[in-house]
Structure 1
Amino acid sequence: MTTKPKIPAIELKDLQFWYRAGAWQLSLPAVTLEHGQHLFIQGASGSGKTTLLNLLAGITAPSAGELWVQGHAMHQLSAAKRDKLRASQIGVVFQQLNLIPYLSVLDNVLLRATFAGQAAITLQPRAIDLLRALGLTDDLQRQRASALSVGQQQRVAIARALLTQPALLIADEPTSALDANNRDAFMQVLLTEADKCATTVIFVSHDQQLKRYFHFELSMADLAKGVVAC
Structure 2
Amino acid sequence: MTGTTPVTDKPKIPAIELKNVVFYYQTAAWQLSLPALTLQQGEHLFIKGASGSGKTTLLNLLAGIISPRQGEIKLGGESFSRLSAAKRDTVRARKIGVVFQQLNLISYLSVLDNVLLSSHFAGLDKTASEQRAIKLLQSLALGPELIQQQAAALSVGQQQRVAIARALLTRPALLIADEPTSALDADNRDGFMQVMLEQANACQTSVIFVSHDATLRRYFSQQLDMQHLAQGVQPCC
Judge same fold: TM > 0.5, yes or no. yes
Give the Cα separation in 2 of the matches to 1:123 and 1:24: 43
Deviations 1:78-102 (A, max 9, x none): 1001001011111112224332222
Q: 2:34 aligns with which of 4, 25, 28?
A: 28
Return 33-42 or 172-181, whichever deviates more: 172-181
* Worse overlay, 108-117 or 120-129: 120-129
- The structure having more radius of gyration, on CA atoms, is 2
**What is residue 235 of structure 2 aligned with on the other side?**
229
Distance 1:46 1:220, change over 3 A: same
TM-superposition CA deviations, 1:121-148 (whole Å, max 9, x none): 3233432343344454544432222334
Residues 162/22 of structure 1: CA separation in 2 closer, same or farther (3 Å cut): closer
In the alignment, structure 1 residue 155 sits paired with structure 2 residue 167: no
SS at match of 1:143: coil
Which amino acid is 1:85 matched to? V
Does the C-alpha gap of structure 1 residues 126 and 175 become closer, same or farther in structure 2, counting only changes over 3 Å?
Answer: farther
Selected match of 1:68 from 65, 68, 74 = 74
Matching residue of 2:46? 40
Q: Could you say what secondary structure the match of 2:97 adopts?
A: strand
Secondary structure (helix, strand or coil) at the match of 1:218 reads: strand
- Determine the structure 2 residue equivalent to 1:170: 176
Distance 1:169 1:143 in 2: 26
CA deviation string 1:3-24 (max 9, x = no partner): x982111211111111116522
Does the aligned pair in 1 maintain the 2:107–2:152 contact within 8 Å?
yes
Q: Which amino acid aligns with 2:161?
A: R
Task: Specify every segment of 5 or more residues in structure 2 that has no aligned partner in the other structure, as ranges.
Answer: 1-9
The equivalent of 2:105 in structure 1 is 99
Moved more, 184-193 or 130-139: 130-139
CA distance in structure 2 between the partners assigned to 1:117 and 1:200 by the alignment: 22
Match of 1:49 in 2: 55
Task: Give distance in 1, aligned partners of 2:63 and 2:80.
Answer: 9
Q: Percent of aligned pairs with the same residue? A: 67
Mind listing any 5+ residue stretches in structure 1 that lack a counterpart? none
TM-score of the two chains, using structure 2 as the length reference? 0.87
CA RMSD of aligned residues (A): 2.1
Aligned to 1:85: 91
Post-superposition offset of 1:59: 1.1
How many residues align structurally? Answer: 227
**Alignment partner of 2:223 out of 214, 217, 222:** 217
CA distance in 1, matches of 2:11, 2:87: 21
CA contact (8 A) 1:8 1:33 kept: yes
Q: Distance in 1 between matches of 2:139 and 2:183?
A: 18
Identify the match of residue 146 of structure 1 among 128, 143, 152.
152
Is the CA contact (8 Å cut-off) linking 2:102 and 2:180 kept in structure 1?
no
Which residue number in structure 2 is paired with residue 11 of structure 1? 17
Picking from 111, 115, 119, the partner of 2:125 is 119
